Amino acid sequence: KYASGVELYLPIVSGGTTYGLSMTFGFFLTDNGYSVRTRKSSYDHTRDRIYSHEGVVEAPVTAEGLQKEIRGFIRDRNFAIKMLEDKARRWERFYG
């Protein structure tokens, strides 16, 4: 059911806390060639929850299709870093 195979893990360290973002690629054969199921996961330690998003790169898989997924994953990571930094600044402002 879930993607399994190759996993890309990008940690985010903010304020001494490490947040984990991972993306897993599962390759499977279809009538049109290989297709890839992706699963992007992030762990929220404050709520002790894992958030996931499933996606599919339709067959036939191209390098451009995989690059697009990876670029989106890195963009999500960079956005998460920005949000954590903003949260840390607000926390510092309110609680000194």
Q: Enumerate the domain spans of the chain.
A: 6-95
Cβ neighbours around 21 below 10 Å, total: 20
Could you give the CA distance from residue 81 to residue 87 in angstroms, rounded to a whole number? 10
Cβ neighbours around 40 below 10 Å, total: 20
pLDDT for the residue numbered 32? 83
* pLDDT tens digits for range 50-62: 777 777 777 787 8
Q: Considering the chain, what is the average pLDDT of its residues?
A: 76
- Considering the chain, what percentage of its residues have pLDDT values greater than 70? 83
pLDDT for the residue numbered 18? 67
- Is the pTM higher than 0.85? The answer reads no
Q: pLDDT category, 16, cuts 50, 70, 90?
A: low
